[in-house]
Structure formats: structure tokens, C-alpha cells
Structure 1
Amino acid sequence: MGRAEERRARQRGGHRAAPRRRRSSGAAGKSGIRRLFTWKKILGTFLGVCLLGIGAFVVLYLVIDIPKGNALAKEQGNVYRYSDGTTLARKGLNREVVDLAEVPKPVQKAFVAAENKSFYSDSGVDLKGTARGVLNTLSGKGKQGGSTITQQYVKNYYLTQEQTVSRKLKELIISLKVDRRMSKDDILAGYMNTSFYGRDAYGIQAAAQSYYRVDAEDLTIEQGAYLAALLQAPNSYDWSIASPTGKKLVRERWDYVLDNMVEEGWLDAGKRAGMTFPVPKEPKAAPGMEGQNGYIVEEANRELARQLVAQGAAADMEEALTKIKRGGWTITVNIDSKKQKQLEKAVAEQLTGRLDPKRRTVDADVQAGAASVDPRTGKVLAMYGGADYVEHYTNNATRDDYQPASTFKPMILAAALEEGATTQDGTPIRANTLYDGDSERPVVDNGVRVGFAPENEDHADYGDITVQQAMNKSVNSVFAQMGVDVGMQKVLDTAGRLGMDTEGLEAVPAQTLGSMGASPLEMAGAYATLANHGKKVTPTLLASAEHKDTTVELPDPVGEQVISREAADTVTSVLTGVVDDGTARRSVRDNPMRDGQQVAGKTGTSDDNKSAWFTGYTPTLVTSVGLFGEDDKPPHRQVPMYNALGEDRINGGGFPAQIWAQYTFGAMGKVTEFDLETAQGAAVEPTWTPSQTPSQTPSRTPSQTPSRTPSQTPSQTPSRTPSQTPSQTPSQTPSQTPTTTPPVTTTPPPDGGGIPDNPFDPVQDE
């Protein structure tokens, strides 16, 4: 039988039945899956979902109608009140609607080029951008750009700024309807008139005035491109307050707008190539913000914005400030109206009333800033931001770009006491510890020079001097060595706990000279923590903030113990010496208004006389006053204050201390005394000279406690004016060894004692 016949026989005999069953079984399985996922069913499902989506969209389109508009115009302004409830300021929306015909065509095109190049041809929506925004909202990624001009106009005019899926869907539907019912010109005009541009400016007309002092109809293409670029982040891109990064980004955005105009054929490439960036004018406050009101209002807004971000009510400061400036808030500040007037009067009588720019051009460069805080509550009771918010936009009370100089020295001593630090020879650092006070003495660490040898003022050599005396005379060389003895990182950590912003600072000995930036408000907070016996005080301007039904919860300004009470109280005790026998004695100690009031404080004068400070306190009031040299012409660089007000040099013990004294002694009420707990006594001896010459180590404690005031005092302390050299070095040892315990005394001033002819004659300091 051939093979073909055998095969046919097997087939007839059913030999392939089993295999057929196996194949049939496999086929059946596959066909079951195929039956479940056939391309027809997949397509049908897809079409069904699409139909459902379309149906839902149709229903939404029919249900959602264009609401009544102009919601932004109905928003009320903000009301700001003093702590006693009286009105400080009222601030409404700064907006003036203009017709699109009043805006030059090229400026109109600049806005379109910035936000939505397809504006004139699209249907009013960007489905991709909207879908992306919905997905980001659902996934918690925050706000998302990509909306058309029509959508942004709808959001500004008909809806809210909230980031929710329902709001985005409404925006989509309403945008489609608005695009059908309104002309593109009307939509563009609405968008330009309702957008927020920063500087409290709503609408193109207010923005044109605020940034360029012109009407909208007079804007150039360059200026219009800047305003269009500004809308992406108005508070961050405002040239007057933008960070270096913000300035870089807005320049790039400006280029982007103009390049898009060229690409769309709306601007000639040759003309574009010749354009330069139009730097905006300095901000000018809205009516009613003159004097100190504007500084207080703006700082209150920023403090509230920080709280909104912290509580999750806003994603970032940009969004929070926008929310606040839309209005509807009643904000009460802790400012005491009486103390505020007293501070303003003190600055006027002790400083600004004496400035004469016509006679001395440098007088135009002198700026004052001050902040006053209650150390028991943290309330900011008074603030001086500058001559006038309308004329000088930068708040000198909160700016942190000037060096605090020697007002940083108490932070070094606080760190030494808190850490139980010792000198290089192992001697505990206390008020009576001896240091070598010679100028330019190399700072050493475990016998190795660290490459830092700071000068004392006028290169004065003090020889062996106590910590108390070094604080009184503000001896740089002593505190530079002390900083290394403690450890600079520990010094910065302590300063940070007390309230200074030390994040990111390099822990190097040069920081002992107060070379970082700080603001009067910041320094007032740090000293308030010392005055509050080491419990953290965060200066707080806001008393309350309400918006319709919402009350913002504010944190307690007084926090936990950040350094020990003994360390804080010892620093306070030492700082009384600066007033009683140091660089602030003429302006504060001998002030006829003092009336026995106990005072602690520290003067400071920065390198090249660009800033001068006095930060001082009584048990109930801490005030920091700073004078800053700032060129009165843009770009307002820091400049020295030599020869201002007819003085060779502006020092912390002069005009800043005079302002402080008039304000504090006029505002303090009854006389108070410090309640100090310190092993070194509630009133550390301000001046004395040890009986023995210390060994050649950077510091030591005398082996025998001096028993009475030295019989001889140098006839003249070092002059502090740059042009003079001290005639006698105060490091000379008295010829007679003390043998009895001295009373608490102070050394007479160098002019022989008593009140000088001019009790407010500035005393030179570091």
C-alpha cells in the first residue's frame, strides 16, 4: 500500500480525531478571547465613549450659560486699621477701562504674540492646554498655563482664579460661547482691561501709567512688549523689585514677544533688531499711600501673603499677593498710632530736618529706616520705611542689603555664653575675660593663624582688654578672635535662633564684623529675643486679617526658649555698658529725657561708612535704627555717607542713637528696670583695668580680681574720625594696683566728663 493510500486509510479510520480535538480546543480558546476583544467591539466601545463624551459636552453646553460679568469690577478694596481700630489706609483696585482703539495696534499685537498667536483664527479654546490643565489639577501639580486669550479673559471677567476641574470645564464652555457672541477685538480689550500687571495696576491704562508714566495710547512697541511679558508673573517680573533671576527671565520673555511678532509678520525684522529693553520707571504709590502708610500697607500684605502660603490658601507668594490685592480684606496691624507719630517726629527732628542737599550733595544720599517691637509680645509698634513711600519705594525698615556691622557683636557673645566656649588657652569666656585688643592682631585657631586680622576703628590699639570693655568700645579684633574661639558655625547658628537670617552664610571669621546683610526689623527681632530672656520673638506686623467670612489664623509671635535665660540676660547686662560707658554714651546716657531709664544697646558703623546703626532696648521696647547711604539717582547704589550733615563720618553713636533716644524716651511711659538672672551680676562693671599683664595668649582671665577703679585713666580715648590718630593708646596699665572692690562706676567721657556743649554731638564708634 502506498503512502498516499495509508494516509487516506488513517483519515477514514479516524486517526486524526484527537489532534483535531486539540486544535479545536486551542482554537476555541483563541476565538473566545477574539470574541471578547474583537476590533469591532473595541471600535464600538471607543465610539460609544466618544458619543457619551460628546453627549455630556452637549448637555454642559446647553446647561452652562455665560454668567453676568465684570466680577472683578465688583471686588471691594482693602481696609487697613491701626491697633486701636482707627483707619490707617483704604486701598481699592487701581483700574481704568479704555477702548481697544486707544491702544496702539502694535501693542495689541504684542499681547497676542505673548499669549496666543492663533487668537484671531481659533475658536476661543485650547483643548490641549485645557486637558493638560485638568490632568495637572487632578494630579496635584498646580496651575498650568496654555490657555487662550479668550479663556484668560473668561477666567478674569466671569469666573475665579481657583484651580479646580469644574472651573476649568466651565471656562471651556463659556469661552466657546463668548468667542461666538463677541468680536475678537472686544475679547482682547476685555482681556487687557481686566488683567493684573503688578504694582496694584489692573488694566492696560493703569499699567502704562504705573510703569512708564504714559497713557495706554502713547505706549511704544517696546513698552507694550514688556507689559505683555509682565502678565506671566507680575510680582516677580516688576523690574524695580525683581531678583537677578527675575530680571533675566523677563528680558527673555520680552525677546520672545518681539520675536513672535516678527515671525507673524507684525513687526519688521530690521526694526526689531534696533530695539532696546525699556527699563520701567520707579514705582509710584497710589493716592493715599504717601508718607509711612505705603510702607506699612505693603509689608502687611507681604506678611499676610506668607501666612496664606503657609496655610495652603495660595500656592506661592505670587498667587497670594494677587489674591490680597484683588481686595475685600480688612487688615488690622499692630502699629500703635501714637508711637508711630513719635518715631516719625524723632526722625524728622534728629535727621531729615537737618539734611540740606543744596548745601551738601551727599545729604541727598542719606536714608533712614527703623522698626520698634514689644519684646513681650512681638508686636511691631512703629515702623519708619523712608522719607515718603511715594518718593522712595524701598522700605528701609525691611530691606536687608546693608551690613549691620558691630550690632552683630552681641550675637557672638551670646553664642560664647550659650555654648560655654573658652578662649584659646581654655579660659571660659565671660564679661571679665581678657583679650588682646590690638588692631590687626592675627586671629588664631589652635595656634594657627586663620588669615584674618581685622583693623579696629582708626587702627586703635587697646592692648589687654576685657570683653565688657571690648563691647563698650566695639573692638573688632577681640570679637573676631572670640568668633573663632566659639566656632563660626555655632555663632551663625545662635544668631539664626535669635532671629537673624543666616541661612546660606559662609561660616568665616569675617562675619564677626557684621558683613552679612540685615534689616532694622530683623535686628529688632534678634535683640527682642535677648530682651525677652532668650525666648524667640518674631516681629509681627499683622494683628488680624479677614476676608468676607474667612479669618486667617496667625501664629504666636513669641516662641520657645532658643538660648538660656542666663546667656541672654548676661548679654543684656553687658550691653548696658555700651550706653553707660561706650559708644552710645553721649546720645543716650547723657540724654536729658532719659530720666533714669535702664537701657541696653549696641552701635554699628559699616565699612566705608555706607551704613550706621543703633539697636537698643528697654525692658518693654526694642528699636533698631539704621542710616543707609544710597545714591538718590538710579540705579540707587550703596554709597558712603562721609561729610553728610556736616560730619566727617556718620556713626551709630551719633544720629541713629539720637533718633533712638528721642523716640524711646518719649514713648516708654514709666521708667523700668531690667529683671536679669546672671551669675555675672545684674549690672556688669563697665570699666576697669586688670592689675596684672596677661601672658602672650589671645585671651585670659586675670588671676586676681581688681578691687577698685584704677587711679589713672588715659587722658584721651582714640579719636574715631578717619583723619585723626589717637594721641594716647588706652592700653596703658595704671601705675597703681587696685586693692579694694570698686563700686559700679563709669569712666567720664574723654572731654573731661559731664554733658558736652552739644549733648547730641555724635560719638565715633567702630
Structure 2
Amino acid sequence: MYHSRRLRIRNSYLRQRLITKGLIFVTGAIVVGFIFSFLLFAWYAKDLPSPSKLSQTTGNSTVFLDRDGKVLFDLYKDKNRMPVSIDQIPPSLKEATIAIEDKDFYKHQGISQFGILRALFNILLGRGLQGGSTITQQLIKNVLLTSHRTISRKIQEMILAFEVERRYKKDEILLMYLNESPYGGSFWGVGTAAKGYFGKEVKDLNLVESAILAGLPQSPSVYSPFIGEKNTWKERTKSVLRRMREDGYITKLQEQEGQKTVDKIKFTSPKLAINAPHFVFYVKSLLEKEYGEKIIDQGVKVKTTLDLDVQEIIEKIVKDEISKLKDYHVTNGAVVVLDSKTGEILAMVGSYDFNDDKFGKFNAVLGLRQPGSAIKPITYALAFKKGYTPSTVLLDVKTEFSSGSSNDKPYIPVNYDGKFRGPMQIRFTLGNSENIPAVKMLAMVGVHDFLQIAYDMGLTTFYPSDESLNRFGLSVTLGGGETTLLDLTSAFSVFANNGYKNEISSILEIGDFQGKKIYKKDGSHQKSIISPEVAFLISHILSDNNARLEVFGPNSYLNIPGRTVAVKTGTTDDKRDNWAVGYTKSITVGVWVGNNDNSPMNTKIASGATGASPIFYQAMRELLNLTDGKQKKYSDGINDKPDKVKALTIDAYLGGLPKDGYPNRAEYFIEGTEPKDISPFYKKIKISKNNGKLANDIEIKNGQYDEKEFVVFTENDPVSTDGRNRWQEGIDAWAKEQSDDKFKPPTETSDASAEDIVISIKNPSGQQTVNSNNVEIKAKITSTPNIKNVKIKINGSEVKSLDGDRDEIDETINLSDGAYELQIVATNEKDKSSESTLKFGVNKPWDYLTPTP
């Protein structure tokens, strides 16, 4: 008992000592933590700007320059504010701003604990430092600090937030935020924004207008109705209205009415001091994707690839030419110019008029459209890659293409002008843009391989996935898939650049407002897509005015006198899109005309005569004459002929080696693909002398035929799924309609029976006078069953009987002078007989009348 009591006393003593030490440790930790926090606070606070400067800053300007340093757009050069007082701010704007930016604004002391936890959580997940900014913190970022996302900057931001909240009332902080926040372009503060977007005082804003403005400061370059992505402001506004309803500021009915009003909002016409606006906003969107949406608002200097001299020339041409097309129901056009060797964008005109309220802001250079026949060069590039040549003959005749399903109708393409031109070499099918040969060629080279090479050349929507293969058919070579003008022009630059692909580029360098380089282009990164030989063949055809002569004539807008320019046009079947894309070795130009609402143009629009072609013609002519004051900026011509491309004289009609009686022409071939003989379509056929049909074996054996040359076209149908050769059916139907018999060889074989006996008397000849009484009787006998007997008769009397199989007779008979009838009768083992008769004379005329004794 004594020991038990003593043990209890001892344990109590130990507990008290442990608690005492624990309290000392905790107290020490708190003191150390306080000292550390104080020192940390002091460290980060020592260089902080004073909160009193909140309304005294001007911000940094973001500038876009062309490649020579000329200003395209100074985003904040004209930054101006129209400060407003708190009593001028309508409740709807206050509520909308708080709802979308900081719903606990009136509850916290400058920092959102939940926001901080969310930011830490994002850091732990590797998402970077994002989230957690209150209105107070955003005000500090906008005015006192940069928006760099670092932990130290976040701590400084929190310290300042505490200080601002200590110095100012909540409504004062909110007012400063509304007066100092960016609202897009040169609009800083709600006073300027209300005037700039709606033409009214801020106090007169309605609910939806307030919601629009409240949604902008988070990312003004994205959400601005003037400079942001199309219609993103609408979704942002609807999000603001939803948050206002969730926070109890408006009712469900008000939200619904507001969302209906969003689509009816009318803005004032924006007046921006900007060059190449579509290009500038294209570059702006690329910057935001690469560096985040806030980079535009941080003040950067962006040196672009654009050549302002080229841009201004193109803008004027588009404006002038589109104005001429109103009677054709053409309301818009777009042009992009690339450096052929680097892929750099030299000019981008996205619409007829950027300031047009209906469609001006939409950049048609980036819009998805069907390219029509402008895509055909890619099909033929694949063909040349697989060994076909510019002299390969394709039959331009009405042809059915199997759909692959018995339930679907066959595909029957037609040519632009509705005509069929029969046999055509690839040089002329591509030059004249014939549809049926292009579809046949795609069937021969394969849709999958076509999609692959198109994708590799820059058509980003043509990736050969299973879904694409199910969606695209043979019509894709006539423009059945969608692409953008920028992508198609980039693909053509591969032809211009010896088969090498450059990534499209628009930025040369980026620097921040302190002059530090953020990015600098480090040269061109090229990838070989097609061989220089294939690129040369395509370029030579597209620059050959004779190759397109039949359809376009000698003086179309595709022919620029004194210049060598490769070009291809395209027009969709429904006349919704009209294209012209072409190049020299220095520049590649793509043109589109049509309507933004996708309505069809007038049917009189014609490739090579109206629409895109005149714009292309004027653009190329102007740009190839442009100088930098000393020399021309851009040169014409295609790349030089590679060594592995050989010139050869060929048959101008069917593309083989030259043939007697037919004209010749020169053609280029990749080494190893040159023709080795005349065209196989030339056929010598044995025709029966008896009936004009195909000679049978007996007639051929007996020489009873004439050999005659025909042109016989044959094609195999590689897409047939039922055994029918629809391509040959189309060829045969076309041949029957031709007036020239050379296309119509007999198809039936002579009906001379295999059991018939054919006797051909070789000597004497009919009506011959033999000058000797010893007459040689020679004959050739043909019979499939063997001959068993031959009789020779003179004037009806048998003079000789020959038994046994034989195919020749060579006998001599002595006859006196006079006129005679020779008759040879042959019988075969089937007891079938045949005879041949002729008259001749012996030392007398064959018709000599012998005196009666």
C-alpha cells in the first residue's frame, strides 16, 4: 500500500513536468513562428508599392509590329479612363461584378481562405499557381503589381490586400476596381467601357449590359465583343447572369429574359487604329494559347512576320474586286500570302471590310470551307509519287463509281462544263481541272494515302483516322472535305518549296515591357513531304498555260504575261466557294470568295474568269513588281528542274513513244518512269476478209484476214465490289458514240465454222494466162478436222485425186492451148466438202473461145 501511494505521487510529478515542457515548447514555437512570420512579412513588404498609388498608374502598352518594325496595333496606346463615382454605378453592375468575380467580397478582409486553399491544391496537382484572387487582389494586380504567377508575388499580393482593406472601405475598393480594370482594347474603367461599347453613361446601363461589362476584366482580350473570339462574350455574359441568380441578386425569370436579350444587344461601331486587324487578332489568339490569356494585358512587344506593304496592297485589291461582284451575289473575300521558303505569313486579309457590322470581324482565312478542285494537285502529287506520269492517259467519260453498298446509289461525277473529252493525259486533266479523271486517279492511289499526304502537307482536317475514312469518299478529290484557306495555301507552299513543309509562322520575336526577350524565331524547320521531282512536275503543269488551254483559254486570269506562276482554281458544285491558290518559288497566295452565310453565289461565277481568279491575278502582278527601294522583294518562276527529271519527246495523243502519223510533244518524267514503247492503246487487229469480223483461227491460219490498227482503251475498276467493270462500261459507251471508226474495233469473231474447209488457190491466179502447157497447180487448204481427199478438176472432169491429210497442193498438169476452169474439191474426215474455182488460159486469154471441131 505504501509502495502504491508512492508510485501515484511519482507519476503525477512526471505528468506535470511533461505538461510544463510541452507548454514551453508550444510557446516557443509560437514565438518563433511569429518572429518568422514577422520577418517574412517584413521581407516581402519592404519593397512593396504604397496602396496610395492605386489610382495613379498608367499600365504598359502591348504593341504589334510588322517585320520591318512598323506599328500594326498599339493595344493600349490610347488607354483612357472616364472615372465615375460610386453613386453613378448602377446596382446591377456592382452585383454582376461581385457575383462573377468575388461573391464574398463584403465578408472577407481582402483574401479568400477558400481561394488560397484552392490555389494550394492546384499547385499540388501540378496545375500551376491559379485561383484564389479576390476583387481586392485583382485591383492590386491590375494597378500595383504584375500578374506573374509566382508564390512570392502571391504573398506580396496578400500583404497588400490586407493593407488596402485596412485603409479603404469596401465600396471604395470596388469603385477603384471598376475604374482601373481593363475592359478590352483602349477601354479602361467602366466609364470608358460603357461609352465605347454602348454609347451611354455608366449609370444608364441595364442588367444585360452590366453583365457584359462585368464579365470582361477577367480576360478582356478574349471576352471583348470587339477584339475577342467570336461570340465568347455571349457565353461569358450568360455565365454572369447565372451567377447573379445563384447568389440571389436576380430571379430565374430575370435570368431567362436577360439571356434572350443577349442575342439582341447592339454595340456601337468600334473605331480601332489598327493595321491588318484580322492578322493582329490571329496573332493575339496564338499568344494567349501559348502564354496564357493575361499576356496581352502585361505589355509586350510582338514583332510579326507580316509585311505591311504587302498587306496594304492586298487589302486594296480585295476591296476593289469584291465591289465588282455584287451582281454575282458575292459579298466577301479573303486572301493570305505566305513566304514560300519559310512559311511566314506576309499578309492576311480576313474579309472585305473588317468594320462591316455583319461579317467584318470574322476571319474567313480561318473558316472551314470546301476547296473544290483546288485540292486536285495533291491527288496527282500522290499519283506521281506512286509512279504515274504527266503522260499517263485517263479516260474522261461518263463513269459510275460503286458506292460499295447495294443500298446506295453509285457516284457519278460530272465535269465543270458538263462535257466529256475522252482520252486525256494527266498534264491536261490537271491543267483543265477535269473531274472524272481526278476521281479515277484517287480510286487508283487510295483514299487513305491521299488523306495522309494531304494531312502531311498541312491540311489539318484531313487526318486519316477511321472516322475520316468512313466520312470521306472519292469525292474528296473534288473538294468534298473541308479545310481553311490558310491550310490550303500552306499545302501549296510545299510544291513551291521543292516538296518541303514549313510550319506556318506569324511571330518573329516577343519582348516584355522591360525589353527582355520572351521568344525569338530560330529559323525555319522544314520537313520533306514529297520529292523535289514530284513538286517540280506539279509546279510545271500548274504554270503551263497550254495545259489548261482547252477549258480556260489562252488569256484567262491564271496567265500573267511575262511571269511564270503556278496556280489552281476551285469552285464547289453549289457555287458557295470559289478559290484560286498559286505560287512562285518566293511567295504563295491563296484567295477565297463567297458569302459568310454560306449562301450560293450567282451561277455565272466561273473559275479563271470571275471571282477569286482576278484577285489572284492582281495580287501576283502587284507583288512581283513590289520593291524595297533597291530591288524587287519577290521573284517569279518555279524551282529549277531536278537532275532526276528527264525531258522526252512523246506521242502527243496517247503519251507513249512517238508514233508515225501522230503529232509529238515534249514531256518531263521522273527518271525510271519514262515510256519504253508506243502506247499500249494502239492495237493491230486481224479482221476477217469474209465478213469484217474478228478473224478466227481458220481465217488467220489461211491468211484470210486484213490487219488494221485501232485505238482500244481499257481500264480496270479498282473500287468495284460486285465484279462489274463500270469504268470499262463507260469507255465502251463513249466509243460507240464516236464517229471515228478507229475507236470501234469489231467485237464479234468471224462465224466461219471450225469444221469449214477453206481453199485458197495460189497458182494459177484467176483470169491469168499461163505461158506454158505444163501448168503448176498450187493451193493452200485449211481444215480443223483432217483432210482425207482432194480432187482436181479441169472443166468439170477429174484429172487427179489425192488421198490423205494435207494442207497444200503442188501438182503439175499438162494442158493444150485454150481456156480452162480449175476446180479443187476437198473433203475432210467429217465428210464436209468445200470447193474453190477459178478460170485461166493456157497460151490464150482466160476467156478465149475454143473453136468447135
In which range does the TM-score fall when normalised by the shorter chain?
0.7 to 0.9
Code of the residue aligned with 2:338 in structure 1: it is V
| Deviation (angstroms), 1:612 | 0.4
Code of the residue aligned with 2:593 in structure 1: it is L
Aligned residue among 376, 385, 409 for 2:350: 385
Aligned residue among 562, 581, 589 for 1:623: 589
1:530-545 mapped onto 2 (5 Å cutoff): 530-545=495-510
| Deviation (angstroms), 1:126 | 0.9
Partner of 1:476: 435
Question: Does 2:272 correspond to 1:287?
Answer: yes
For structure 2, the 5+ residue unaligned runs are 626-634, 660-674, 683-733, 744-853
Aligned Cα root-mean-square deviation (Å) = 4.5
Partners of 1:499 and 1:526 within 8 A in 2: yes
Query: Which is helix-richer, 1 or 2?
Result: 1
1:440-519 mapped onto 2 (5 Å cutoff): 441-443=400-402, 452-457=411-416, 459-502=418-461, 506-507=468-469, 508-509=472-473, 510-519=475-484
Partner of 2:687: none
Q: Report the 3-state secondary structure (helix = DSSP H, G, I; strand = E; otherwise coil) of the residue aligned with 2:591.
A: strand
Farther-moved stretch of structure 1 (57-66 vs 240-249): 240-249
Partners of 2:540 and 2:638 within 8 A in 1: no
Question: Does 2:481 correspond to 1:522?
Answer: no
- Separation in structure 1 between the aligned mates of residue 308 and residue 99 of structure 2, nearest angstrom: 49
1:251-650 mapped onto 2 (5 Å cutoff): 253-262=239-248, 266-268=249-251, 271-277=254-260, 278-279=262-263, 281=266, 285-289=270-274, 292-305=275-288, 309=290, 314=291, 316=292, 319=293, 322-329=294-301, 331-349=302-320, 351-356=321-326, 360=327, 363=329, 365-391=330-356, 392-394=359-361, 396=363, 398-418=365-385, 420=386, 428-439=387-398, 441-443=400-402, 452-457=411-416, 459-502=418-461, 506-507=468-469, 508-509=472-473, 510-547=475-512, 548-551=514-517, 552-577=519-544, 580-581=547-548, 585=552, 594-630=560-596, 637-642=597-602, 648-650=604-606
Q: Report the 3-state secondary structure (helix = DSSP H, G, I; strand = E; otherwise coil) of the residue aligned with 2:460.
A: coil
Partner of 1:663: 619
Q: Report the 3-state secondary structure (helix = DSSP H, G, I; strand = E; otherwise coil) of the residue aligned with 2:366.
A: coil
> Closer, same or farther in 2 for the Cα pair 1:608/1:702, shift >3 Å?
farther
Aligned residue among 172, 184, 187 for 2:158: 172
- Separation in structure 2 between the aligned mates of residue 680 and residue 445 of structure 1, nearest angstrom: 39
| Deviation (angstroms), 1:236 | 5.0
Partner of 1:74: 58
Deviations 1:123-155 (A, max 9, x none): 121123124314533653124223221122222
- Separation in structure 2 between the aligned mates of residue 454 and residue 38 of structure 1, nearest angstrom: 95
> Closer, same or farther in 2 for the Cα pair 1:616/1:178, shift >3 Å?
same
Question: Does 2:118 correspond to 1:162?
Answer: no
For structure 1, the 5+ residue unaligned runs are 1-10, 12-19, 25-30, 421-427, 631-636, 693-700, 709-728, 739-766
Partners of 1:211 and 1:283 within 8 A in 2: yes
| Deviation (angstroms), 1:467 | 2.5
> Closer, same or farther in 2 for the Cα pair 1:579/1:125, shift >3 Å?
farther
Partner of 2:747: none
Deviations 1:359-415 (A, max 9, x none): x5x64x521111122212333333323233233543546323222221111122222
Partners of 1:584 and 1:657 within 8 A in 2: no
Partners of 1:587 and 1:661 within 8 A in 2: no
Q: Report the 3-state secondary structure (helix = DSSP H, G, I; strand = E; otherwise coil) of the residue aligned with 1:545.
A: strand
Query: Which is strand-richer, 1 or 2?
Result: 2
Deviations 1:612-652 (A, max 9, x none): 0111112322211111212xxxxxx2211116xxxx23536
| Deviation (angstroms), 1:302 | 3.7
Count of matched residue positions in the alignment of Structure 1 and Structure 2? 644
- Separation in structure 2 between the aligned mates of residue 210 and residue 622 of structure 1, nearest angstrom: 39
> Closer, same or farther in 2 for the Cα pair 1:673/1:516, shift >3 Å?
closer
Q: Report the 3-state secondary structure (helix = DSSP H, G, I; strand = E; otherwise coil) of the residue aligned with 2:259.
A: coil
- Separation in structure 2 between the aligned mates of residue 516 and residue 283 of structure 1, nearest angstrom: 38
Partners of 2:584 and 2:636 within 8 A in 1: no
| Deviation (angstroms), 1:59 | 4.2
- Separation in structure 1 between the aligned mates of residue 102 and residue 276 of structure 2, nearest angstrom: 39
Q: Higher relative contact order by CA 8 Å / sep ≥ 6: 1 or 2?
A: 1
- Length-normalised TM-score, structure 1: 0.72
Partners of 2:543 and 2:565 within 8 A in 1: yes
Partners of 1:197 and 1:230 within 8 A in 2: yes
- Separation in structure 1 between the aligned mates of residue 655 and residue 592 of structure 2, nearest angstrom: 35
Q: Report the 3-state secondary structure (helix = DSSP H, G, I; strand = E; otherwise coil) of the residue aligned with 2:600.
A: coil
Partner of 1:104: 90
| Deviation (angstroms), 1:504 | 5.2
- Separation in structure 2 between the aligned mates of residue 451 and residue 43 of structure 1, nearest angstrom: 91
- Separation in structure 1 between the aligned mates of residue 422 and residue 22 of structure 2, nearest angstrom: 93
| Deviation (angstroms), 1:187 | 1.0
Code of the residue aligned with 1:276 in structure 2: it is Q
- Separation in structure 2 between the aligned mates of residue 101 and residue 683 of structure 1, nearest angstrom: 87
1:220-239 mapped onto 2 (5 Å cutoff): 220-237=206-223
- Separation in structure 2 between the aligned mates of residue 681 and residue 404 of structure 1, nearest angstrom: 32
Code of the residue aligned with 1:414 in structure 2: it is A
Q: Report the 3-state secondary structure (helix = DSSP H, G, I; strand = E; otherwise coil) of the residue aligned with 1:544.
A: strand
Question: Does 2:689 correspond to 1:704?
Answer: no
Aligned residue among 119, 130, 134 for 1:148: 134
Partners of 1:574 and 1:684 within 8 A in 2: no
Partners of 1:383 and 1:397 within 8 A in 2: no
